[in-house]
Amino acid sequence: MVVKRVVVGAHYGLSDWLAQRVTALIMAVYSVILLVVFVRGAPLNYGVWKDLFSQGWMRVGTLLFAVSLAWHAWVGVRDILMDYARPDGLRFALQVVTILVIGAYLGWTVQILWR
């Protein structure tokens, strides 16, 4: 027998679940690429380091990583807060702090990359 399930609600559960996985893959790919660059690249000094982060692909790639991290961290930290933070007022306050921290991280990242 086929059970017809009527899906109700805002659907953010599924999209968060999917976003968590897509952003994880983006960060995993970036991590592996960065590892290869480090292992195969020239010994690290200021010139090499500065050159690496002045390349367009590196800046955009790092920004994609940062945006993925922001989204991923929001879903993850919110899940943790929903499980443990009581009462609701404290949870709400911590969620606001989390959003502020994520926003600050993103702003700082842009500032570092396009200085």
Using rule CB under 8 A, residue 109 touches another protein: yes
Using rule CB under 8 A, residue 108 touches another protein: yes
Rg (CA), the chain: 19
| Token pair in block for residue 113 | 């990359």
Q: Considering only 4-12, 42-50, 86-94, which stretch makes contact with another protein by CB under 8 A?
A: 42-50
Q: How many residues does the chain have?
A: 115
Per-residue three-class SS string for the chain: CCCCCCCCCCCHHHHHHHHHHHHHHHHHHHHHHHHHHHHHCCCCCHHHHHHHCCCHHHHHHHHHHHHHHHHHHHHHHHHHHHHHCCCHHHHHHHHHHHHHHHHHHHHHHHHHHCC
Number of residues that bind another protein (CB under 8 A): 23
Site mask for another protein (CB under 8 A), range 49-88, x = bound = xx--x---------------x---x--xx--x--------
Using rule CB under 8 A, residue 40 touches another protein: no
Nearer residue to another protein within complex by CB, 4 or 84: 84
Q: Residue numbers of the site for another protein (CB under 8 A)?
A: 21, 24-25, 28, 31, 44-46, 49-50, 53, 69, 73, 76-77, 80, 101, 105, 108-109, 111-112, 115
